[in-house]
């Protein structure tokens, strides 16, 4: 038997019991619901730019996406009302974060055992000694940014001066991150990656979850981020799902940023690219992954291209593309394969601000019959994958299989 664990990055379904403790631009996340609010905008004609009518997700709906959203939040999802043919439920996070490492670590069986360090909403935002170390490593006499900001805004605001001066653009967000943007040609991709790798231990000692290299190309007025992003994340302090599987002698494939998130712990092979390329990698592994293997995939563009940019129509199109691709994939799974689809947090594109939203996430399972699994914990996902593969599990999760 094989297992495919697929994270639809940021596709939350509302209802987090502690949403009032998390904020976007000073507004609590209470009531945020990524999926339901996109579907409602589509049904009401508020999601334009190349798409019309209700949100069309027949494959995900048949697996239980609409039912899971109603279970999580009580909100109706226009266009999603199918009787589920798979196992379905909703998961709540216990870690104190609404970010990539918190969500993925806990889905992999390890709730975050500490509080992340977040940079204050102030300007300047970074300690002077931290930026001095960046300058020393990069061989420059200063940095740009030193603020909270959205990546594309940072490029528009500081990109021209960065190209003139060679100073890297350093910024953060509501997540526990330190991001460095630099032009691949005028600054150099390898130079940027080397800088991020060397500064990462300093940030990790502060309990900042990730240093993210944000390479870009183009000219003033037409900058674009490239797919050469690299995350330098804190190493998980205890074994996680990928370790459990690898230690049992099985093969572990990582698609997308999974290898970065887990600092390559328990991973045999990594495949990267944009989401269309990642779908091709997932399709290939459906045909070729070894018996007993785990394939762990993250599709990031729901979050990076549409959620943070509050692009409802773009998010809707991405969901419909994913649903159509999934429909081509499911019939090719082998007897005994399990495919589990979930998310790591929310990012409601109808919400205030530009940050993630604290939400429950769907848990949709193909290959183990049909039925409701109810409200579960993030860590139960790892325990259930381990149970399916027949490998020993660790951590607090309990299998729902």
Q: What is the rounded distance in angstroms from the CA atom of residue 323 to the CA atom of residue 328?
A: 9
Q: What's the mean pLDDT when you consider all of the chain?
A: 96
Q: What is the pLDDT of residue 247?
A: 98
Q: What is the pLDDT of residue 53?
A: 84
Beta partners for residue 181, in sequence order: 169, 214
Q: What is the pLDDT of residue 103?
A: 97
Where do we find the tokens 């900001």?
A: 149
pLDDT digits (tens, 9 = 90+) for 159-189: 999 999 999 999 998 889 999 999 999 999 9
Beta partners for residue 361, in sequence order: 91
Q: What is the pLDDT of residue 47?
A: 85
Binding-site annotation, residues:
9, 303, 308, 344-345, 356
52: pLDDT strictly greater than 90? no
Q: What is the pLDDT of residue 174?
A: 84
51: pLDDT strictly greater than 80? no
The average pLDDT across 385-390 equals 98
DSSP 292-344: T-EEEEEE-HIIIIIITTT-HHHHHHHHHHHHHHHHHHGGGPPTT-EEEEE-S
Binding-site annotation, residues for Mn(2+):
9, 303, 308, 344-345, 356
pLDDT digits (tens, 9 = 90+) for 224-270: 999 899 999 999 999 999 999 999 999 999 999 999 999 999 999 99
The average pLDDT across 389-395 equals 96
Instruction: Give the list of residues 6+ apart from residue 155 with CB closer than 8 angstroms, or none.
Output: 169, 181, 216, 223, 225
Q: What is the rounded distance in angstroms from the CA atom of residue 261 to the CA atom of residue 257?
A: 6
Q: How distant is the alpha carbon of residue 51 from its chain centre?
A: 25
64: pLDDT strictly greater than 80? yes
């Amino acid at each position: 038997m094989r297992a495919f664990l697929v994270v639809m990055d940021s596709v939350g379904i509302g209802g987090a019991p502690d949403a009032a403790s998390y904020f976007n631009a000073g507004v609590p996340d209470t009531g945020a619901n990524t999926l339901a609010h996109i579907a409602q905008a589509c049904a009401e004609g508020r999601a334009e730019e190349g798409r019309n009518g209700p949100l069309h997700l027949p494959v995900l709906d048949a697996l239980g996406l609409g039912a899971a959203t109603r279970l999580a939040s009580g909100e109706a999802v226009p266009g999603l009302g199918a009787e589920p043919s798979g196992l379905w439920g909703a998961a709540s996070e216990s870690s104190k974060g609404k970010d990539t490492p918190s969500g993925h670590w806990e889905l992999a069986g390890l709730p975050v055992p500490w509080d992340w360090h977040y940079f204050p909403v102030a300007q300047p935002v970074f300690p002077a000694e931290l930026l001095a170390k960046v300058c020393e490593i990069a061989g420059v006499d200063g940095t740009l940014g030193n603020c909270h900001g959205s990546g594309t805004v940072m490029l528009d605001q500081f990109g021209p001066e960065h190209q003139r001066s060679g100073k890297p653009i350093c910024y953060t967000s509501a997540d526990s991150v330190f991001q460095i943007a630099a032009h691949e040609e005028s600054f150099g991709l390898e130079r940027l990656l080397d800088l991020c790798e060397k500064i990462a231990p300093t940030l990790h000692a502060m309990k900042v979850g990730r240093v993210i290299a944000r390479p870009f190309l183009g000219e003033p007025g037409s900058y674009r981020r490239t797919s050469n992003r690299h995350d330098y994340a804190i190493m998980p302090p205890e074994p996680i799902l990928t370790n459990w599987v690898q230690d049992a002698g099985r093969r572990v494939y990582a698609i997308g940023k999974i290898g970065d998130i887990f600092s390559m712990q328990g991973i045999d092979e990594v495949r990267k690219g944009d989401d269309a390329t990642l779908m091709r990698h997932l399709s290939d592994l459906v045909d070729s992954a070894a018996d007993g293997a785990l394939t762990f995939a993250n599709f990031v563009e729901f979050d990076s291209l549409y959620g943070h940019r509050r692009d409802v129509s773009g998010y809707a199109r991405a969901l419909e593309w994913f649903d159509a691709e999934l429909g081509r994939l499911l019939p090719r799974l082998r007897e005994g394969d399990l495919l589990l689809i979930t998310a790591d947090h929310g990012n409601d594109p109808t919400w205030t601000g530009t940050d993630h939203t604290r939400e429950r996430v769907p848990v949709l399972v193909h290959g183990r019959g049909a039925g409701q699994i109810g409200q579960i914990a993030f860590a139960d996902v790892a325990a259930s994958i381990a149970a399916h593969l027949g490998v020993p599990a660790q951590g607090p999760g309990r299998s729902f299989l």
